[in-house]
Structure 1
Amino acid sequence: MTTATDAVQADRELKARHRAMWALGDYPALADEIIAELGPTLVRACGIGPGDRVLDVAAGSGNAAIPAALGGAQVVASDLTPELLETGRRVAAAQGAQLQWREADAEELPFADGAFDVVMSCVGVMFAPHHQAAADELVRVCRPGGTVGLLSWTPEGFIGRMFATMKPYAPASPPGAQPPPLWGSEEHVRALLGDRVSGVEVCRQRLRVDHFATPEEFRDYFKARYGPTISTYRAIADDPERVAALDHDLAELARREPVTEWEYLLVTARRA
């Protein structure tokens, strides 16, 4: 029989694994080299301007937080992984951006109700394992009339298919954990936010990616830099046949679905 204490301990262990996973490889390099334009895209969609109080949830190294700060907003960048925040501090300093960096769990944000004018997340909160808990926190810390903005990879897009490709090789998700690309489903996000928001605007867009000359180059780049991919390979490291099979499947994904258009869902809404 699972007790409440067991559940709390299991959740702590899960969060510790997530924290460690995102410290693997070099996600800040990937964010800068491949998806840099997504942060400014979300900032524009949220209509962030000078003086706005902004919280970037699961901010990583500041792909969206830093552009918001450079535009004059008062920004707090929060993330579960301190290594990403430390890189963000260095990047922000180099660019002359002033903002706060806070280690925080997206499912238990250490901020007051209604503390921010804009609460946003750029391919970040989608990786919190308990989607409703994370969505509840996004809404809670946004002031009435404020903006919630989300940019997430879709299940049908290239990154969503990459996660589907890795799933048979990855350890089973613990009970209650939900797959990240669900945040790229309009129906799922609307259900998470519910009637606590109004004026919901949703669109699917694509990120043009010209970084990889071959399918193998894409695979090896993610094997070296992307925490979820590195973690999946580590789980099968003692089985050379499965490693070879995953190598093949990721390259075939890129061969079958050219690594040039990565679809994402962009959602903005007003806190009711």
Structure 2
Amino acid sequence: MTDTMDANAVLKQKHRAMWALGNYPELATDIIADLGPRLVAAANVKSGDRVLDVAAGAGNAAIPAAMRGADVIASDLTPELLEVGKREAQMHGVTLDWQTADAEALPFDTASFDVTMSCVGVMFAPHHQATADELLRVTRPGGTIAVLNWTPQGFVGQMFATMKPYAAPPAPGAQPPPLWGDEAHVRELFGDAVRDVTARLDTVRISHFGSPEEFRDYFKSHYGPTIACYRNIGDDPERVAALDAELVALGERFAAASTDSGDAGSGTGFEMGWEYLLVTATRA
């Protein structure tokens, strides 16, 4: 038991350190700022609601919820992200409670929130059932659980698939993050503890980058999982070059797919459509 606890503590410390790499808050603002408000709207957050944002990062969903008048706790495993969120909240003139917390062992009372949500956050906790159980536990009966996650077949899911051969092996028992973007998987995690489940696939259009190479270099400097992957192969120039090329090819493939489907607007420049799954449910 002690060895298992020690291994889990080491795993969580690695996750915490990984998300402190680069500049995820800037990435969330530059690229996916729309997602937080979309999740908050889908969860129907109202003034006076008690809301918990799990794996909140710098608050890209928590802050919009607070701007609706909700009483919000933003929790995350990485305190460096929360510190950025505090400054961002001050700029918007809202007050939130920022707490360092593990999504798999939340330090909150049972049935204490009207809305429990996560925007591309809980998907990165390694043990999916433990995380889902905690989301269920802290949500009051009749309350709302709302999660927005990248899909396995979408751009971010395919980016993780591209990086997997170059990354350090996952910890025993850890599950792939993009599984949270599979409706059947999420329904199985929540089981009969929820009712009135809705699941919607959608895309967010990404037009921040001028080329696939610019996308790759931005993620190499900003996104913790990508930085960690490159560090893992840093002493092998051939593998670094191979991953460089594969990420550029991925960007080209999804730009072409976006153009073909009409998601790229005018079709000028470099744009991509990134697919996500948004699930809302009522705690039974």
Asked if 1:271 is matched to 2:267, the reply is no
Question: Where do residues 1-272 of structure 1 align in structure 2 (5 Å cutoff)?
Answer: 4-258=1-255, 259-272=271-284
The one-letter code sitting in structure 2 at the alignment partner of 1:112 is: D
Partner Cα separation in structure 1 for residue 133 and residue 150 of structure 2? 20
How far 1:206 moved relative to its partner? Answer: 0.3
Structure 2 residues without counterparts, runs of 5 or longer? 256-270
Partner Cα separation in structure 2 for residue 96 and residue 195 of structure 1? 39
Percent identity of equivalent pairs? 65
Q: Deviations over 1:202-246 (max 9, x none)?
A: 000000111111110000010000000000001111111111111
Partner Cα separation in structure 2 for residue 45 and residue 192 of structure 1? 20
RMSD (Å) for aligned C-alpha atoms: 0.5
How far 1:180 moved relative to its partner? Answer: 0.3
Helix, strand or coil for the counterpart of 2:152? coil
The one-letter code sitting in structure 1 at the alignment partner of 2:60 is: N
Q: Deviations over 1:181-211 (max 9, x none)?
A: 0000000000000000000000000001111
Helix, strand or coil for the counterpart of 1:257? helix
How far 1:133 moved relative to its partner? Answer: 0.2
Helix, strand or coil for the counterpart of 1:126? helix
Helix, strand or coil for the counterpart of 2:143? strand
The one-letter code sitting in structure 2 at the alignment partner of 1:183 is: W
The one-letter code sitting in structure 2 at the alignment partner of 1:35 is: I
Partner Cα separation in structure 2 for residue 234 and residue 15 of structure 1? 19
Aligned residues: 269
Helix, strand or coil for the counterpart of 1:201? strand
The one-letter code sitting in structure 1 at the alignment partner of 2:209 is: F
Q: Deviations over 1:141-183 (max 9, x none)?
A: 0000000000000000001000000000001111100000000
Normalised to the residue count of structure 1, the TM-score between the two structures is 0.98
Normalised to the residue count of structure 2, the TM-score between the two structures is 0.94
Structure 1 residues without counterparts, runs of 5 or longer? none
